[in-house]
C-alpha cells in the first residue's frame, strides 16, 4: 500500500513538471535509465540491506591477507648475495639447492624465483639469467620458470653469523650434573592412629 502511494505521488509530481526538470539535470546512469526504475532499484536495495554491501566489505577485509601471503612467498623464494659467489652471477651450492627446492617442492602458483638487486644492473641481469637457466633444468612440467628482480632486504643472518652464535651458546652452557644427594634424617613416615 505504501509503495502504491509513493508511486502515485511520483506520477503526480512528474505530471506537474517538478521532477522531470531535476531528472534532466542529473547525468548519472541510474537517472538516464528512468526515474521510476531508479526508485524501484533503491527500494530493492534498501529491502535487501546489508547484502549488497557484504561482499565488497569481505573482499576489503581479505585483501591484506593475500598481500601477506604473496610477500611471504617472495621472501621464501628470494636469492640474496649469499646465494651467489661474491661480485659474480655464479650460484653457490646453497643457491643451486635453493633453486632446485623452489622448482620441485614449492606449490606451482608460488614458484616465482626472486633475485635481490645487485650492486650494478649488469650483475643483476646476469644473476637473473643464471637462475633462469638453472631453474629451467628443474622445471617439473617443462614450463619456463618465472624469475624476477626484487629490492626486498633479506630477513635473517648469514650462515657464518648463525654458526658463531650457536658456537658461543654451546660454550656458555653449563655442564649437566645432578644435585648432591640430601639426607632424610628429619623426615619420618609414621602413620597417625
In a domain, 136, yes or no: yes
**Angle made by CA atoms 7, 13, 16, in degrees to the nearest 5:** 145
For the stretch 33-43, pLDDT in tens is 678 888 888 88
For the stretch 127-150, pLDDT in tens is 999 999 999 999 888 888 999 999
In a domain, 78, yes or no: yes
In a domain, 95, yes or no: yes
What cell does 8 get? Answer: 502515485
In a domain, 44, yes or no: no
Full domain range(s) for residue 123: 68-150
Residue numbers of the chain with a pLDDT score lower than 50: 16-24, 29-31, 193
In a domain, 169, yes or no: no
Instruction: Give the closest residue to 108 by CA, choosing from 84, 63, 73, 152.
Output: 73
In a domain, 90, yes or no: yes
Residue 123: per-residue pLDDT: 93
In a domain, 122, yes or no: yes
Residue 12: per-residue pLDDT: 52
79 CB-near residues (< 8 Å, 6+ apart): 91, 95, 98, 99, 113, 114, 115, 116, 127, 131
pTM over 0.75: no
In a domain, 19, yes or no: no
Residue 76: per-residue pLDDT: 93
Residue 34: per-residue pLDDT: 77
**Total domain count for the chain?**
1
User: β-pairing, 78-79 with 113-116?
Assistant: parallel
Q: Is the Cβ–Cβ distance between 139 and 105 less than 8 Å?
A: no
Amino acid at each position: 500500500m505504501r509503495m502504491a502511494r509513493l508511486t502515485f505521488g511520483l506520477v503526480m509530481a512528474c505530471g506537474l513538471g517538478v521532477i522531470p526538470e531535476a531528472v534532466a539535470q542529473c547525468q548519472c546512469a541510474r537517472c538516464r535509465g528512468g526515474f521510476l526504475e531508479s526508485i524501484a532499484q533503491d527500494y530493492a536495495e534498501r529491502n535487501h540491506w546489508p547484502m549488497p554491501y557484504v561482499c565488497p566489505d569481505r573482499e576489503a577485509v581479505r585483501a591484506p591477507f593475500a598481500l601477506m601471503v604473496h610477500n611471504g612467498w617472495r621472501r621464501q623464494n628470494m636469492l640474496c648475495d649469499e646465494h651467489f659467489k661474491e661480485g659474480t652471477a655464479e650460484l653457490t651450492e646453497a643457491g643451486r639447492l635453493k633453486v632446485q627446492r623452489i622448482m620441485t617442492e614449492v606449490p606451482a602458483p608460488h614458484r616465482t624465483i626472486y633475485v635481490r638487486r645487485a650492486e650494478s644492473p649488469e650483475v643483476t641481469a646476469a644473476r637473473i639469467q643464471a637462475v633462469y637457466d638453472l631453474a629451467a633444468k628443474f622445471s617439473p612440467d617443462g614450463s619456463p620458470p618465472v624469475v624476477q628482480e626484487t629490492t626486498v632486504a633479506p630477513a635473517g643472518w648469514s650462515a657464518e653469523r648463525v654458526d658463531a652464535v650457536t658456537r658461543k651458546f654451546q660454550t656458555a652452557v653449563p655442564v649437566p650434573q645432578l644435585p648432591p644427594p640430601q639426607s632424610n634424617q628429619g623426615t619420618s613416615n609414621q602413620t597417625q592412629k
